[in-house]
Amino acid sequence: MRPTEISIANYRSIRGLFMPIQPLSVFVGENGVGKSNLYKSLSLLRDAATGRITRTIADEGGLESVCWSGVRKRGEDGRLRLAARFERIKYSIELGFPAPTEAAFPSEPMIKSESIETVQGKRKLLLMERKNALVSVRDENGAWSDHKNALLPSETALANFMEGKGCPEIDLIRNAMLGWRFYHDFRTDAASPIRKPCLAITTPSLGADGSDLAAALATLFAIRRDVADLQEAVEDAFPGAKLRAWEENGWCEFALQLADMPRPFKAHELSDGTLKYICLLAVFLGYRLPPFIALNEPEASLHPSLLPPLARLVAKAARRADIWIVTHSEQLMQALQRESPVPLRRVIKAKGATAIEGLTIGGEFRDGDDDEDD
């Protein structure tokens, strides 16, 4: 299942956004407009599937730091709300502070509600509803079963509820979201694990920190035994270069042979930009492409000459997966627009809140002629 819509409310600088997810979504904006919060909110939503959402919020400074910090209307609760739709199935989660009578730490983020709903014709039908400690599940016959105190306030039903055999949509959504991949940055300092050999484990998709880079590349060479697309992309970025990865004594390594150098260079010898680009090659050309890939400023540390090859890499990958990119690089946006009919999504600040030009309240983008008429 691939996500089709996303909803974010009261997250940092995002007052409220509801938008479709397209095969390739690229958001460009200046520093300080909150574009990284678009990326972080999606990552936080995935943490509902892993069961770490409350811990992640605590790591980021707690709800006071994470929730909307702007002016609130009278009577608003200010709760953090996230939702994702997968065609006809929608998952929603709401988090807030504990009530004075609840057994929890005073500032602990608590899951107030979760729900899964589907659409049958023009009618919305609840399949799972969680309110505080009570989880209710509708079975295939339409009958509800209630489970009191099945979960702690810090646990999500999506990750931890195991009595919902009558609601297979819980498993469907959880498994779909667990397939999402987020790449914020790759450490390239001398002590980075990316620069070292890694254990020889078949690796279909690059990990978030890139520490299994050598294994992801060696999987293409030794397991798939087809690296034509990879070598073509290497040649596109570094004319005349060849990449090789291998396994030896239970460890994987890789090396890049540049056209103007007498010998290949291993990971610990490569420049930061070159190493990061090889990580991006593994992201988009891995053995198995994740169904949804989000990247935050992938152009960081890259020479401008690498942006057109990166755009071609992204455009090809978007044929097989949904890709979400947040960037401040106008050059990367222009390069992507030359390779794919990706519309310009400019992130701005409007009345102190993160907004996207052309996005309507109903969650549609005004493109083309509509923009020209405004």
For the cut 70, the answer to whether the pLDDT of residue 2 exceeds it is yes
In the block, residue with structure tokens 């044929």 = 319
Is residue 66 classed as helix, strand or coil in its secondary structure? Answer: helix
For the cut 80, the answer to whether the pLDDT of residue 100 exceeds it is no
The pLDDT of residue 165 is 62
The C-alpha atoms of residue 353 and residue 374 are separated, in whole angstroms, by 22
The pLDDT of residue 368 is 53
The pLDDT of residue 214 is 98
Structure confidence by residue, pLDDT tens digits, 18-46: 999 988 999 999 999 999 999 999 999 99
Structure confidence by residue, pLDDT tens digits, 120-167: 777 889 999 999 889 999 888 888 988 888 888 889 999 988 765 668
How many residues in the chain? 374
CA distances from 179 to 4, 118, 172 (A): 15, 21, 11
The pLDDT of residue 257 is 97
Q: DSSP state, 217?
A: H
Average pLDDT in the 187-196 region? Answer: 96
Structure confidence by residue, pLDDT tens digits, 72-92: 777 677 799 999 999 889 999
The pLDDT of residue 75 is 65
The C-alpha atoms of residue 346 and residue 326 are separated, in whole angstroms, by 10
The C-alpha atoms of residue 35 and residue 37 are separated, in whole angstroms, by 5
The pLDDT of residue 371 is 41
For the cut 80, the answer to whether the pLDDT of residue 344 exceeds it is no
The pLDDT of residue 373 is 40
Average pLDDT in the 170-186 region? Answer: 94
The confidence band for 64, taking pLDDT boundaries of 50, 70 and 90, is: confident
* Four-residue CA torsion sign, 364, 367, 369, 374: positive
Taking all residues of the chain, what is their mean pLDDT, rounded to a whole number? Answer: 91
pTM for this structure? 0.90
Is residue 42 classed as helix, strand or coil in its secondary structure? Answer: helix
Weakest-pLDDT range from 105-114, 199-208, 332-341: 105-114
For the cut 90, the answer to whether the pLDDT of residue 238 exceeds it is yes
For the cut 90, the answer to whether the pLDDT of residue 262 exceeds it is yes
